[in-house]
A and B are shown apart, each in its own frame.
Chain A
Amino acid sequence: GAGVSQSPSNKVTEKGKDVELRCDPISGHTALYWYRQSLGQGLEFLIYFQGNSAPDKSGLPSDRFSAERTGGSVSTLTIQRTQQEDSAVYLCASSLNGGQNRQYFGAGTRLSVL
């Protein structure tokens, strides 16, 4: 595709349920980032994938959060036992090969936990 694609665009779930958020990066981009943005706030780094290297998971807020990247392309962010404080927009970005390359962002998934 022409840009970074995220799905779903909106997700409403009940507290305690698990959710999966998907990110399709730009073809050929080896670096992929997940960020979380609460209403009116900045971007909070969650996790970074670069090629076949071990991901940088240092931003994941708790062990309820995990992410995978299969085949070096599509990534899934999973939140288990969702809590109300998990409500936010989850943004995915990709870049050509990480490093000093610009990041291209998807439109995000707006997660609402009731």
Chain B
Amino acid sequence: GQQVMQIPQYQHVQEGEDFTTYCNSSTTLSNIQWYKQRPGGHPVFLIQLVKSGEVKKQKRLTFQFGEAKKNSSLHITATQTTDVGTYFCAGHPRGGSGTYKYIFGTGTRLKVLA
């Protein structure tokens, strides 16, 4: 079946270090969304990427969508303690069943050490 894998599963960084999580889909995606889930909280939307090779920035966060629309990455520059949480990508397979089912990635749990 369709799968979306993320690596790494866990990442511990010192405050101020950079962080990157990678998302890989087994099928081509029409678009990809990124969400952040704080400990004990629910997922909150960060951004959506639609175009092949698209790059979007939100302050210290940079999101990329691969040329083949099968992978994506989220890079955080100079992490802060407020960045702690689990980051999920969610992809909609291209040519899907006609419904907008999203397949969530396995998530990357980020811990930032002060």
**Do B101 and A31 touch (CB < 8 A)?**
no
Out of B33, B41, B99, B105, name the residue touching A103 (CB < 8 Å).
B33
Number of interface residues of B (CB under 8 A): 25
A65 at the interface (CB under 8 A from B): no
**Do B92 and A48 touch (CB < 8 A)?**
no
**Do A48 and B99 touch (CB < 8 A)?**
yes
Q: Nearest residue in B to A106 (C-beta to C-beta)?
A: B42
A59 at the interface (CB under 8 A from B): yes
**Do B107 and A42 touch (CB < 8 A)?**
yes
**Do B42 and A42 touch (CB < 8 A)?**
no
B21, chain A: closest CB distance, angstroms: 13
Contact (A56, B99) CB under 8 Å given A42-B106, A105-B43: yes
Chain A residues at the B interface, C-beta cutoff of 8 Å: 31, 33, 35, 40-45, 48, 50, 53, 56, 58-59, 91, 93, 98-100, 102-108
Chain B residues at the A interface, C-beta cutoff of 8 Å: 30-31, 33, 35, 41-45, 48, 50, 88, 90, 92, 97, 99-107, 109
